[in-house]
Amino acid sequence: MKNWKAIVSVVLVMAVIVTILAINKKKLSSKTSGGIEDAYYVSVETVVKKNLSSSLSITGTVNANNDVNVLSETSGRVVAVFAKVGDYKQAGSVLVQVDDELKKAALMSAEASYEKAKKDYERFKVLFEQKSISDTQLDQAKVGTAMAEAQYIVAKRQMEDTKVKTPISGYVTMRNVDIGTMLQGAPQPTLVANLVDISRLKVKLNVSETDAFILKTGDAVKVTTDVYPGATFAGRIESVSNKSDEAHTYAVEISVSNQSAHPLKAGMFARVEFTSLRDRDAIVIPRQALVGSVRNPQVFVVENSVAKLRNISIGTQAGTSVQVIGGLNEGEQIVVNGQNNIVDNTKVEILK
């Protein structure tokens, strides 16, 4: 009897405990459904306009101002060579001499025929004035003179082509022929030599589409290299392409004068600092506030303690800051820390 009473007492106590727990759970659920939500702590920054003095630094490749492959315009055997790799040659200098015996004979024959045709034409003019010949005969003499002159010009040019000359002043970087080499003319001319003019140089590089619209032809730039630490070369923007490549970047050419104290060579790497980007007031935010990639930038904007994801457009990037050209207004608050833990429309608390 006593055991039965003890069991009943235990059951009643357990029933009371279960009832209390159920009531507490119901109260907690009712409070949660009434609007209590978890809040994430974030750091924010107010959007303001700042004076943006942009400086852009990009690595490019140094190219010769003029890079020319000298091709043979005649066929024949090389009998003399007047240049070796490393030589500096003035424009018009002879690099190699091709056997010209037959060309010289052809030139002598063409010159003799041309001189005879000119004298014949002069005699025919006198005879025509004396009405001893017809108009047709005079015209034939005139045509014969013109044809003889054309043959003389061709023979003279062929003779000149036996001397392979450089069209530019520059350094010989490659020579493909030696004495005894047989050269071919058109349509498959022999590559004789390569010359580069490095009195001036061109630094070629690519910039983003935003910078392509800011940079202007004629703007001054500073050029530096790892070969000459501390040395600065003055340059200017020679051209900015009007067409992008597959990566949506635009080709830019920088003109630089070579220096005797710090000579540059074609093929080197050089860093170009664009100092001419104008100062301007712009909305600038920390780069760390960006969510996603630079191509599709987004930020979290805090409105009434709720972080909302917003698409923006960015412009110039300067160090740890980026220029915003669309999507944000002055006075708005953006999340700069803690954005990795939240999603769109998340309730947040701002750390002071």
Give the tens place of pLDDT for each residue, 225-277. 999 998 999 999 999 999 988 878 899 999 999 988 899 999 999 999 887 55
Query: Residues 74, 163: contact at Cβ < 8 Å?
Result: no
What the block records as the tokens of 279 is 């100062």
Distance of alpha carbon 142 from alpha carbon 128, whole angstroms? 12
CA atoms of 83 and 96, how far apart (whole Å): 7
Q: Same domain, yes or no, for 71 and 187? A: yes
Spatial CB neighbours of 73, under 8 Å, sequence gap ≥ 6: 161, 164, 185, 186, 189
Query: Residue 27 domain-assigned?
Result: no
**Whether the model pTM is above 0.75:** no
Q: Does residue 12 belong to any structural domain of this protein?
A: no
- Cα gap 105→139, rounded to integer Å: 29
The domain boundary residue, chosen from 245, 274, 303: 274
Same domain, 126 and 164: yes
Name the residue range of residue 261's domain. Answer: 56-64+198-274
94 and 175 housed in the same domain: yes
Q: Is there a domain that residue 249 lies in?
A: yes
Structural domain total, the chain: 3
Q: Is 9 inside a domain boundary?
A: no
Q: What is the CATH number of the domain that holds 290?
A: 2.40.420.20
The reported pLDDT for the residue numbered 5 is 56
pLDDT at 167 over 60: yes
One domain, residues 176 and 238: no
Last residue of a domain, one of 167, 193, 219: 193
CATH number of the domain within which 233 lies: 2.40.30.170
Q: What tens digit of pLDDT does each residue of 76-124 get?
A: 999 999 999 999 999 999 999 999 999 999 999 999 999 999 999 999 9
Q: Write the DSSP symbol of residue 305.
A: T
Residue 113 lies in a domain: yes
Range name among 125-134, 156-165, 272-281 with the lowest pLDDT average:
272-281
For residue 232, which amino acid is it?
Answer: T
Q: Where are the alpha helices (DSSP H) in the chain?
A: 2-33, 101-129, 135-160, 209-214
Q: Shortest CA distance to 68 belongs to which of 202, 192, 205, 204?
A: 192
Which CATH number goes with the domain that contains 188?
Answer: 2.40.50.100
78 and 182 together in one domain: yes
The answer to whether residues 71 and 173 belong to one domain is yes
Predicted confidence (pLDDT) per residue in 64-86, tens digit:
999 999 999 999 999 999 999 99
161 in the same domain as 219: no
Measured CA to CA in angstroms, residue 285 lies from 148, 290, 318, 328 at distances of 79, 9, 10, 10
206 and 320 assigned to the same domain: no
Q: Which residue, 193, 222, 245, sits at the end of a domain?
A: 193
* Dist. CA 93–CA 320, nearest whole Å: 55
Residue 154 in domain: yes
What is the band of 287 on the pLDDT scale with cuts at 50, 70, 90? confident
**12 pLDDT above the threshold of 60:** no
78 plus 141 within the same structural domain: yes
Q: Which residues of 330-351 are buried (b: 16+ CB within 10 A; e: fewer)?
A: eebbbbbebbeebeeebebeee
Q: Is residue 93 part of a domain?
A: yes
- Split at pLDDT 50, 70, 90, the class of 294 is low
150 and 242 part of one domain: no
DSSP string, 228-244: STT--EEEEEEEEEEEE
Whether 188 and 210 map to the same domain: the answer is no
48 in any annotated domain: yes
Same domain, 150 and 179: yes
Q: What is the pLDDT confidence band of residue 209, given thresholds at 50, 70 and 90?
A: confident
pLDDT of residue 53: 59
